[in-house]
Every structure is written in C-alpha cells, then in structure tokens.
C-alpha cells in the first residue's frame, strides 16, 4: 500500500517495496506527477485549481454528485489536486513526500 512510505524526486518506474525500509515503500514523485496530471486531464480538472477552495470542498462534500465534469468526482478531484501539489513541490525542490 502507498498509504505509508515515501516518494522521491527521482524517475524510476516501479514502486520499491521493502518491509525492512522505513515506510516499506518508495515511489517516484516524478512518476506521481505524470500520473496525477493524466488523472486530472481525464477528470477535466484544471491543474491550477486550489484544493482548498470552496468549490473543491463543496464538490467533495456534496451528497449528490454533479452531473458531469470533475465535480462529479469531488473526493477524487480533491485527492488528485493534493497529490499534484505535493509532487510538483517535490520535483521542484528535491524534497521527498512522506506518507505516514
């Protein structure tokens, strides 16, 4: 599971799984960025959408999903935006992303 572990700004294809390593998993934030960009595009979600905006929170909290567009998948869009932001910062600064 990638709910624990790290993403580092190095481009490699497969997640490294090692139960003896801290977190147990090591993924590429370069690949995470590419994957979340593809997901955002599939959702019709503009990358520059603020994940903390009222618009995103309303979509994520809606009892009935919107008829179309990214708002139909509010929770998924929120998570996608958070991962996009983290991956962009990781790649730009050389910092790791920690899931703990």
The reported pLDDT for the residue numbered 20 is: 86
Look at residue 15 and tell me whether its pLDDT is greater than 70: yes
Tens digits of residue pLDDT in 31-76: 999 999 999 999 999 999 999 999 999 999 998 888 889 999 999 9
| CA angle 14–20–21, rounded 5-degree value | 55
Per-residue pLDDT at 1: 53
What phi, psi does 50 have (nearest 5°)? -75, 120
Q: Is the pTM of this model over 0.85?
A: yes
Query: What single DSSP character describes residue 19?
Result: T
Query: How big, in percent rounded to 5, are the helix, strand and coil portions of the chain?
Result: 45, 15, 40
Q: Residue 98 to residues 12, 23, 53, 66, 83: CA-CA distances in angstroms?
A: 17, 9, 24, 32, 11
pLDDT computed for residue 2 by the predictor:
56
């Amino acid at each position: 599971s990638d709910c624990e572990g790290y993403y580092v700004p190095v481009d490699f294809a497969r997640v490294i799984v090692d139960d003896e390593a801290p977190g147990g998993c090591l993924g590429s934030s370069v690949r995470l960025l590419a994957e979340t960009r593809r997901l955002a595009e599939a959702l019709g979600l503009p990358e520059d959408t603020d994940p903390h905006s009222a618009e995103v929170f309303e979509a994520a909290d809606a009892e009935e999903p919107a008829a179309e567009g990214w708002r139909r998948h509010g929770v998924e869009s929120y998570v996608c935006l958070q991962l996009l932001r983290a991956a962009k910062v990781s790649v730009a600064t050389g910092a790791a992303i920690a899931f703990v």
